[in-house]
A and B are shown apart, each in its own frame.
Chain A
Amino acid sequence: MTNTEIIDICGLNSYYGDRQVLFDIEFGIPRNRITVIMGVSGCGKTTLLRHLIGLKSSRPKELMIEGEDMGGFRESRMNQYRSRIGVLFQSGALFNSMTVADNVSVPLRVHSKLHKETIRIIATIKLHQVGLSEFCDYMPSQLSGGMQKRAGLARALAMDPEILFVDEPSSGLDPITAAGLDNLILELKDTLGMTIIVVTHELESAFRIADQIVVLDKGRLLTAGSPEEIQTSQDERVVQFLERQADQKQENNEAYIKTLVGRQIPQVQD
């Protein structure tokens, strides 16, 4: 790990039951930069995010936060880490029983001793940053999906996090709103020096905001590098990913048919 890296992933493996979904993932996340984690659906990028935010535990020495082993974090240390990070989940993950402003206030109520009036002002500031200050007293159900996502981002920003994790920021947003969100992410990095990790499968957004792009493929690290390095890569699978070509490998199709039919179907010879 170099002193420019705030998080170092050193051979991370991950499982759901007996099924392995991440295989020996290894790369560093530089401080004050935007790292975009990409890959097609099911490649393991959201699982990786869950490890990084401490929702899924890691084995010793697999995940280092500023040189400290996250696998050894006790609850109090994990809470301390969580107070330094902000997370925008893919769905926005708002509490439906609270107003939008109250949703944004939740982290401050939990992690600070600020007066409720101060918290209310912070919530309004954060909602204004995402273009929603006129919707403070709305309920989440009164907002569109894209607005809920932006409200979720306001909540993720409520604590002025050092590290911001964003899962699929563009999904469900129209192109103009998505571009506005990209601009805000860039502004947060440029203005506050925030370290930002974005999980997305949107190529256009990734190349617009990333300092580093990490591409996962079937749970394995395919490549990591600058946007320029990714764009000029000669690796066949990287090129295939960039061209959004469907992976139609014959062995996968055979496995699919075997699952359906219960046996291998012999190939018909012309």
Chain B
Amino acid sequence: MDFQTQRSESNKISVKLEGSLNRSTVPEIRKGLLKFARQGGIKVMAIDLSQVSNLDTAGIALMVEVLRVLSSNGGTLRLTGLNRNAVKMIRLSRLDSAFDIANSSGSGS
């Protein structure tokens, strides 16, 4: 699992994840992702999941942790590029209203 970050505006950070986001890979990136979320002044973190091939509940739990950190500082988490499977997993976890979900290929299903 790799991730790249880009601070496009002073209060916005974009993160692109690649590979599987599951219970095997979450421990590898958790610390780094939370570190970016804790940066001062972040109002929007946008995570691009279009290159994530496998999302399980551990991956969703990590998104919840990131959202917690951002929310505590008045920020929001936007998830983009979700495939159909990712949307289903988030819905099954009853968290579709917790995230700002955009550009999801499976959002209409």
On A, residues with C-beta under 8 Å from B are: 108, 112-115, 117-119, 121-122, 125-126, 128-129, 158-160, 187-188, 191-192
Contacts and interface: CB of A to CB of B under 8 A. Distances in A.
A121 B92 contact: no
Contacts of A129: 92-94
Interface residues of B, number: 20
Given A112-B58, A115-B30, A191-B88, 9 more contacts: A114-B23, A114-B26, A118-B65, A122-B61, A125-B57, A125-B60, A125-B94, A129-B92, A129-B94
Contacts of A119: 61
A117 B33 CA distance: 14
12 contacts: A114-B26, A118-B58, A118-B62, A121-B64, A122-B57, A122-B61, A125-B95, A128-B94, A129-B92, A160-B57, A160-B58, A191-B91
Given A118-B30, A126-B57, A112 B92 contact: no
B18 interface: no
Given A108-B23, A112-B58, A160-B57, A117 B65 contact: yes
Given A115-B27, A117-B65, A159-B23, A122 B92 contact: no
B49 to A, nearest CB: 17
A112 B23 CA distance: 7
Interface in B30-70: 30, 56-58, 60-62, 64-65
Main SS of the interface on chain A? helix
B53 to A, nearest CB: 15
Nearest to B30: A115
Interface of B: 23-24, 26-27, 30, 56-58, 60-62, 64-65, 88-89, 91-95
A40 B30 CA distance: 49
Nearest to A123: B61
A108 B62 CA distance: 14
A192 B88 contact: yes
* B23, B30, B88 — most chain A CB neighbours (10 Å): B23
A121 B94 contact: no
B61 A160 contact: no
Contacts of A125: 57, 60-61, 64, 93-95
A113 B27 contact: yes
Contact of B92 (A113, A117, A191): A191
Contacts of B64: 121, 125
Contacts of A187: 92
Nearest to B95: A125
Contacts of B65: 117-118, 121
A118 B26 contact: yes
Contacts of B93: 125, 128-129
Contact of B56 (A113, A115, A117, A160): A160
